[in-house]
Amino acid sequence: MLVDWRPHNRRAKSLAEDLGAELRLAPPVLRRKLYAPLRYVYLSLWTAGIFLRMRPSVIVASAPPPFCAILAFAYSRLFTCAYIVDAHHLATTGYWSRLPFGFWFNRLVMNRSLTTLVHNEAIQSLAGERGVNATVLETKVPALHPGSVHPLAGSFRVLVPCSFDPDEPIAQLWMAASQLGETTFYVTGDHARLDTKTLKAHPDNVVLTGFVSEAEYDGMLNSVDAVLALTTEDYPVRPRAASDAIAAEKPLVASRNEATRQHLGTGAILIGNTQREIVEGLSEVRRRHGEYQLAMKRLKSERMRQYQLELQVLKRILADRQVPK
């Protein structure tokens, strides 16, 4: 059984399919940050109820937040089952690894599991430095809804998936867009999270789509000419938007960090997050669009092969499993 506290997660879906596991994604309730404490209580009860009702023999629990993995740990002690922690980078290197009761407890939960899954070798190294036994399983290149398209305007169209979190350089994006008047930017995500001043400042060639369904998102992804994935965070993780661009074989401009250099260096343009570099990166993609599209096609084959190798390692861990004492 795979349990993830996010209502939408392609990594969880693909991993459950590849392992033949039953998937439980969190109900989309109490999503505003204001309600986070209530949401954690609700999801803890929801998760405990699933474990007690379904009595799984193996659990794959997502983290962060760490509570799903903690519940899997507690259930495994009571009912002698095995579990795996599927750790997003923040579980091992970010603020969730620095909870008041200390990283030692997170480390205990992770190391009592069969293994802790991390997204790449850079995070595996960081986890190892903190005493966590980790196995690399990068995010699988997602399968898009077949044949889905979404009519879009503009002569050159760029998809910009956003969550409007603080790590996204929205002001620089707006300024870059204002210099690229012939390019139309389709920015997904709940733009109600933006402050009023920033929201009103977006140029006319930026289309704020709001939150869209997965099928509609895939249709937009199939219809644009390029994808732009920006983050100021230096955590070594490949952005979800990068995986989506690979899946659709779309030219990609992405923020430069250790993970994007490692996983995207042969097929994408990697930039800092300045207005100038955003403009230059997208202009380069437009000039040499066919070349970058071919590069992304090759990168897709490469990442899919690597994922299958890593998946086989995980399957061997499961086949040889012994419940840790």
Place of tokens 């305007």: 153
Q: pLDDT tens digits, residue range 275-317?
A: 999 999 999 999 999 999 999 999 999 999 999 999 999 999 9
Map out the domains of the chain with their CATH numbers: 2-137 (3.40.50.2000), 156-302 (3.40.50.2000)
H or E element, residue 58:
strand 58-63
Residue 323's pLDDT is what?
A: 53
Residue 92's pLDDT is what?
A: 60
The reported pTM is 0.85
Q: pLDDT tens digits, residue range 227-248?
A: 999 998 876 777 788 989 999 9
- Of 24, 28, 63, 30, the residue nearest 47 (C-alpha): 24
State how far the Cα of 40 lies from the Cα of 30, in Å rounded to an integer.
9
Compute the average pLDDT of residues 6-17: 91
The DSSP call for residue 139 is P
Compute the average pLDDT of residues 160-169: 91
Residue 204's pLDDT is what?
A: 96
Which CA distances in Å does 161 have to 100, 148, 235, 241? Answer: 33, 17, 18, 6
H or E element, residue 305:
helix 289-319
pLDDT above 60 (res 105): yes
Q: pLDDT tens digits, residue range 38-92?
A: 999 999 999 999 999 999 999 999 988 889 999 999 999 999 999 999 987 656 6
State how far the Cα of 245 lies from the Cα of 270, in Å rounded to an integer.
14
What is the token pair recorded at 64?
Answer: 């962060």
pLDDT mean across residues, the chain = 90
State how far the Cα of 243 lies from the Cα of 300, in Å rounded to an integer.
9
Q: pLDDT tens digits, residue range 14-36?
A: 999 999 999 999 998 887 778 88
- Place 262 in a pLDDT band, splitting at 50, 70 and 90: confident
- Place 138 in a pLDDT band, splitting at 50, 70 and 90: very high
Residue 93's pLDDT is what?
A: 58
What is the token pair recorded at 273?
Answer: 């997050």
- Place 203 in a pLDDT band, splitting at 50, 70 and 90: very high
Place of tokens 């954690």: 40
- Of 226, 230, 161, 173, the residue nearest 198 (C-alpha): 173
Residue 130's pLDDT is what?
A: 82
- Place 5 in a pLDDT band, splitting at 50, 70 and 90: very high
pLDDT above 80 (res 134): yes
